[in-house]
Structure 1
């Protein structure tokens, strides 16, 4: 297992500088994140390709966001996140298809997004529409030779397993963020591997705390300071044969973010 870090496409940050920083931190890989569809251009694809080749950084996955409102809590999130809300679904499907095509230009074969609060009840009137939407994007990913990966967090492991089985596509997988399972109060990430381990194709190195009320998510914290049992989590990943990358994510900015990323790298390297 290698250690990588997230790189975010941003109008204010030069992509070559970001890849240089990844290399300076001693990383060999990254996941590329984009929430702005206007940045998914041929020009930017060329810049990214040149930067990753110059610094010898592998892009293991393209994490694609979508347009429209995003409310990261248990109430607004039900109505705004991912492919779950029908009112935003068509435009978001189109954006994800564009993202898949952009990732293909970069030679990236794992495509990741948050699908949203997938209903636990398979008889929910919205469930079939979500299944169809995910299948539409996954089928397009398949044409591009890509896997479609669910980012974990907003659904229980069993719900995630069920929708993968119900869709039935052979290119579906999971980008497991252990902190998200805790932030959303959905599962212990170590135990979740018993349910969905065979579908895991990517891992985020992130930590967090459980929610303390029914309205707001738990808090994301520096790796090693939260409730993810990383020694046991890494041991369990080895047991199920996972040999992919662990991509560090720290949801703050500035010097503290970089310090926490480097400390997370040290902790993970010791465990691996």
Structure 2
């Protein structure tokens, strides 16, 4: 069980692109990119070299996809993940490319948001979403890596149902407890009763519930929102979770750095008390 951080590929970095990770004192990260230009053997070679030099292990590749992405309830269902038919073919191809990239760098899995998966299993759009996920997951399986859903736009039971219907052996979950709250989809502690067996990584992120029907709730520093982290990490320990705790703070600049440092200290206390 390790603490790490989300880290974006930066091919323009002067020096080692993983220095910021090691400067925090972390030896692990989730590597993130929405730029398909990063998805090349040359970038993979640089990632392997510089991660090794910095003493940083990549525990998964967070795979962004082409096209629009609106993080709200109005345009989100039309733009996010593999659910919108208009972007599905291009995004399946992109996720397969990220699977190649993950295999080149030796990462165990790719992670992405699948999107607003239909709640109603009889929705005629649902089978095609399942098939698209299965196509990507089977490709990942052929590469010897996992395909992990990041929680967000779907309820825990919808996520469980979809995993069961996809049916490949390499499926997992990157559980972001804040997202369940930000999207009003559930309580992250209770969610472990439904999807806990599939949890592979945790995003250490916090947030507030939505206060209107069009916009997500507000993301805040871990420990200041509605995620009960002491109880959450205690429940994870009870179910045998042994993966990485990856800190995510969706702001930039010095405040982000300070919040990550403070969260690191808080998380160590929560884990010790669990």
Q: Given the two structures, how large is their TM-score scaled by the length of structure 2?
A: 0.97
What is the CA–CA distance in structure 1 between the aligned matches of 2:56 and 2:219, rounded to whole Å?
27
What is the CA–CA distance in structure 2 between the aligned matches of 1:181 and 1:200, rounded to whole Å?
14
Superposition pairs of residues 40-55 of structure 1, within 5 angstroms: 40-55=39-54
Is 1:158 paired with 2:157?
yes
Is 1:241 paired with 2:237?
no
What is the CA–CA distance in structure 2 between the aligned matches of 1:68 and 1:47, rounded to whole Å?
26
- Structure 1 runs of 4+ off > 3 angstroms? 10-15
What is the CA–CA distance in structure 1 between the aligned matches of 2:183 and 2:64, rounded to whole Å?
19
SS, match of residue 38 in structure 1? helix
Partners of 2:11 and 2:43 within 8 A in 1: no
SS, match of residue 121 in structure 1? coil
Is 1:37 paired with 2:42?
no
In the alignment, which residue of structure 2 is the partner of 1:105?
104
Partners of 1:16 and 1:47 within 8 A in 2: no
Is 1:250 paired with 2:249?
yes
What is the CA–CA distance in structure 1 between the aligned matches of 2:265 and 2:37, rounded to whole Å?
36
In the alignment, which residue of structure 1 is the partner of 2:2?
2
C-alpha change, 1:241 and 1:15, in structure 2 (3 Å) is farther
In the alignment, which residue of structure 2 is the partner of 1:66?
65
Partners of 1:23 and 1:57 within 8 A in 2: yes
What is the CA–CA distance in structure 2 between the aligned matches of 1:242 and 1:146, rounded to whole Å?
19
Structure 2 segments unaligned to the other structure (5+ residues): none
What is the CA–CA distance in structure 2 between the aligned matches of 1:15 and 1:120, rounded to whole Å?
46
- RMSD between aligned residues: 1.0
Q: How far is the alpha carbon of 1:10 from its aligned partner?
A: 3.7
C-alpha change, 1:12 and 1:53, in structure 2 (3 Å) is closer
In the alignment, which residue of structure 2 is the partner of 1:136?
135
Q: How far is the alpha carbon of 1:167 from its aligned partner?
A: 1.1
In the alignment, which residue of structure 1 is the partner of 2:210?
211
What is the CA–CA distance in structure 1 between the aligned matches of 2:260 and 2:116, rounded to whole Å?
28
C-alpha change, 1:41 and 1:229, in structure 2 (3 Å) is same
Superposition pairs of residues 108-119 of structure 1, within 5 angstroms: 108-119=107-118
What is the CA–CA distance in structure 2 between the aligned matches of 1:21 and 1:148, rounded to whole Å?
27
Deviations 1:53-77 (A, max 9, x none): 1111110000001000111100100
Partners of 1:15 and 1:47 within 8 A in 2: no
What is the CA–CA distance in structure 2 between the aligned matches of 1:12 and 1:234, rounded to whole Å?
36
What is the CA–CA distance in structure 1 between the aligned matches of 2:262 and 2:15, rounded to whole Å?
23
In the alignment, which residue of structure 1 is the partner of 2:222?
223
Deviations 1:203-228 (A, max 9, x none): 10101110000000001111111100
Q: Given the two structures, how large is their TM-score scaled by the length of structure 1?
A: 0.98
* Matched residue count: 271
Structure 1 segments unaligned to the other structure (5+ residues): none
